[in-house]
Structure 1
Amino acid sequence: MQRKKLSHQVRVSTEDSELFRQSVTGARPLMQDKIAPVSKPGKKKARQAVNLSQNEQQLFFFSDGYEGFVSNSASLSYVQPGDDPHLAGRLKRAEFQPQVVLDLHGLTQQQAKTELAGLLAYCQQQQFNCACVIHGKGLGILARKVPNWLIQHPNVRAFHTAPKSWGKHGALLLLLKINQPELALR
């Protein structure tokens, strides 16, 4: 914003100046009675915490040293031994719709492992049998680790590279075992 320049200066007469001095005679400066504002630290978004002992139990299944899954093709496919061998094909054709999606973009390996364990615990708790894990392409670190972690978990029945609508080569569709709650006897 610019100030307007006055074309003429206002001159104060000597009697106006004397009148002002008489009116402020005896005035003293005010003492500061305000407390200076203190800035509050910014709020951080709180992540929804999963029961820690349950999460630690889920992490027990994931070993970084285990390299049991090797893919020779662009599509990843796995069916737990003893389960229906057609499950991977059904996942490929998107016969199962994921009830929950986990995006691992931007996470470290340890963070991704923890989030994946949390997802599997959440699916068990909510009785979800299908989930989508988006690991991304990037350098391929999570793309190699996630399948190896998943085949170690006993609740993972099958997984397959997601259809195009769910992320194609940057995501996996999982089919999970659901423990049915026991019916109360009457």
Structure 2
Amino acid sequence: MMLKAHSLQDLQPLRQHLAQAAARAEAEAQARREAAARVERERNLFVLSVGDVTPLPTHNQAALEAPVPAPEPIQFVLDEQRVLMEAMSDEFDVSTLLDTDDQLSFRRPGIGTDVTHKLRGGQWSIQRQLDLHGLRVDEAREALGQFIRLSHRTGLRCVRVVHGKGLGSPGKTPVLKGRVQSWLVQKKEVLAFVQARPAEGGAGALVVLLQPGKRWVPGG
């Protein structure tokens, strides 16, 4: 099923999920703090009621290990919240990393040219799409960062990013095209990308191959 994010509002379900996860983590931590406080109050109440006592000898007493508290998903919440503050630099020079063929493509060191050839030939099925039309540069950067990270976390391998051909921009210069290429190179989840085939957007879109990732299910 294709997902087209025409604005940051389309990413609202992700924001809601992250907020809910953070709220659950905080609620669990608060419950543990309250339980510990109740135990401490009961202990103090007993001491105040009974007064000074002499402990019994501890011969033949078994030493029991304290129960290990349930882990808090703090790092998970922090990782997900960091999605909302993607910091992909606009100053990054991508030109030296692109393959200077007739359409420009990118592949990480160790990735063979056969991978980009297969991408161009449509041998990878496109599983999801992000359309950046109508977004400002800062909105497009945030949307792209979230899209790539979430696609990788959900186990997707091949996605399409539509940045447009710039025909509606001042001077008919594609504002987002170069920036999208630069941002994608900075994302560690991206293995390679090529210009889309004419039927898939041509010069106005990129087909992106992502690192293999463990499939993640929200709430799992």
Q: Structure 1 CA distance, aligned partners of 2:103 and 2:113?
A: 16
Query: Over aligned residue pairs, what C-alpha RMSD do you find?
Result: 2.2
Bigger CA radius of gyration = 1
Unaligned runs of 5+ in 2: 1-7, 19-79, 167-172
Residues 149 and 189, structure 2, Cα contact 8 Å, conserved in 1: no
Q: Structure 2 CA distance, aligned partners of 1:162 and 1:137?
A: 12
Q: With structure 1 as the length reference, what TM-score do the two structures score?
A: 0.66
Unaligned runs of 5+ in 1: 1-44
- Picking from 130, 144, 151, the partner of 1:116 is 144
Q: Structure 2 CA distance, aligned partners of 1:64 and 1:74?
A: 24
Q: Structure 2 CA distance, aligned partners of 1:120 and 1:90?
A: 20
Q: Please say if 1:75 is aligned against 2:75.
A: no
* Residues 41-80 of structure 1 mapped to structure 2, 5 A cutoff: 46-49=9-12, 50=14, 51=18, 53-56=81-84, 59-60=86-87, 62-69=88-95, 75-80=103-108
Whose helix fraction is larger, Structure 1's or Structure 2's? Answer: 2
Q: Which residue identity is paired with 1:66?
A: F
Residues 91 and 173, structure 1, Cα contact 8 Å, conserved in 2: yes
Q: Please say if 1:132 is aligned against 2:160.
A: yes
Tell me the CA shift for residue 141 of structure 1: 1.1
Residues 161 and 168, structure 1, Cα contact 8 Å, conserved in 2: yes
Tell me the CA shift for residue 48 of structure 1: 3.1
Tell me the CA shift for residue 149 of structure 1: 0.7
Aligned counterpart, 2:178: 144
Q: With structure 2 as the length reference, what TM-score do the two structures score?
A: 0.56
Q: Please say if 1:88 is aligned against 2:116.
A: yes
Residues 104 and 135, structure 1, Cα contact 8 Å, conserved in 2: yes
- Picking from 100, 104, 108, the partner of 2:132 is 104
Cα deviation code 1:8-57 (max 9, x no counterpart): xxxxxxxxxxxxxxxxxxxxxxxxxxxxxxxxxxxxx9533334614146
Pair 1:98–1:54, CA change in 2 (3 A) = farther
Q: Which residue identity is paired with 2:116?
A: A
Q: Structure 1 CA distance, aligned partners of 2:104 and 2:164?
A: 13
